[in-house]
Amino acid sequence: MRVVDAADGADDWFATGGTLLAEELVDFRRELSQLVARRPSGEVRAWPLVETVQRDGVCAEVFAPAPRAGELPERARRLATRIAERLDVTGVLAVELFETAEGGLAVNELAMRPHNTGHWSIDGAVTSQFEQHLRAVLDLPLGDPSPTAPWSVMINVLGGPEGQTMPERYPGAMADRPEVKLHSYAKTSRPGRKVGHVTATGDELDDALARARAAAAFFQG
């Protein structure tokens, strides 16, 4: 991957005869994600718009709802709903977004499935994305996606001690942060690999973030 800022900036790649994918370079403030679920009969429900923090191209943290969002949540909900309807989506749809420097929204990526940016909903919403996905696929009435706390913070556990699994470090994390929810994907650790996540909820964003980071730290080093 490279940023091309001149007409001949990718000549060496064209010379190989391979296939190239070109994307517009977007000047953005932050990354957001809007999840919706749709069932075949047409009902659509949306979770709160969330902010995602990327590190080395991997989602590291998710704040639900997105702070300092103004009118963006309603615009994102309408946009994601329109996409789901136009594409005749059944199930959960994640619409990853850029908040542009001008305050607009640009679609970055679509994922027609339960998504990492929605994992917070397991512990932070009345209806999680996984339950909602099943309801949608079965064309059952969709559940309430409302948050159960003012703030939820989800932090991905990336890598950790080589060859270990998250449960091997559960005792320390559970004793130190009994209110934080731990989720293991039953994967052996290696650098950069998503092996699980932790979620903290609360009345204050900074407090929830601090508690989630403290719990995640038990699995990182």
Tens digit of each residue's pLDDT (9 = 90 or more) over 165-218: 788 889 999 999 999 999 999 888 887 789 999 999 999 999 999 999 999 999
Q: Is residue 216 part of a domain?
A: yes
Contacts of residue 34, Cβ cutoff 8 Å, sequence gap at least 6: 46, 47, 49, 50, 76, 77, 79, 80, 94, 95, 97
Mean pLDDT of 6-24: 70
- Total domain count for the chain? 2
Question: Does residue 141 sit in the same domain as residue 154?
Answer: no
Question: Does residue 177 sit in the same domain as residue 99?
Answer: no
Q: Is residue 192 part of a domain?
A: yes
Per-residue pLDDT at 17 exceeds 80: no
Position 187 scores a pLDDT of 87
Structural domain ending residue among the three candidates 147, 167, 194: 147
Mean pLDDT of 91-120: 95
Question: Does residue 36 sit in the same domain as residue 65?
Answer: yes
Position 80 scores a pLDDT of 98
The model's confidence at residue 7, banded by pLDDT at 50, 70 and 90, is low
Bridge partners (DSSP) listed for residue 78? none
Whether the CB-CB separation of 142 and 136 falls below 8 Å is answered with: yes
Question: Does residue 142 sit in the same domain as residue 48?
Answer: yes
Tens digit of each residue's pLDDT (9 = 90 or more) over 43-79: 999 999 999 999 988 999 999 999 999 999 999 999 9
Cα→Cα distances 141→45, 46, 94, 194, Å: 10, 14, 20, 32
What is the model's pTM? 0.90
Structural domain ending residue among the three candidates 147, 175, 194: 147
Mean pLDDT of 19-44: 86
Read off the tokens for 96: 């990853």
Q: Is residue 6 part of a domain?
A: no
The model's confidence at residue 18, banded by pLDDT at 50, 70 and 90, is low
Mean pLDDT of 101-123: 95
Question: Does residue 184 sit in the same domain as residue 195?
Answer: yes
Read off the tokens for 198: 């932790």
Position 9 scores a pLDDT of 64
Phi and psi, residue 174, nearest 5°: -70, -35
The model's confidence at residue 220, banded by pLDDT at 50, 70 and 90, is confident
Q: Is residue 12 part of a domain?
A: no
Whether the CB-CB separation of 129 and 136 falls below 8 Å is answered with: no
Question: Does residue 139 sit in the same domain as residue 157?
Answer: no
Question: Does residue 113 sit in the same domain as residue 68?
Answer: yes
Position 48 scores a pLDDT of 98
Mean pLDDT of 152-159: 94
What percentage of the chain carries pLDDT values higher than 70? 92
Q: How many CB atoms lie within 10 A of CB 191?
A: 8
Question: Does residue 183 sit in the same domain as residue 93?
Answer: no
Structural domain ending residue among the three candidates 96, 120, 147: 147
Position 177 scores a pLDDT of 95
Residue 108 and residue 207: Cα distance in Å, rounded? 30
Question: Does residue 197 sit in the same domain as residue 143?
Answer: no
Q: Is residue 18 part of a domain?
A: no
CATH assignment at residue 63: 3.30.470.20
Domain of residue 102 covers 25-147
Question: Does residue 36 sit in the same domain as residue 115?
Answer: yes
Q: Is 84 helix (H, G, I), strand (E, B) or coil?
A: helix
Position 22 scores a pLDDT of 75
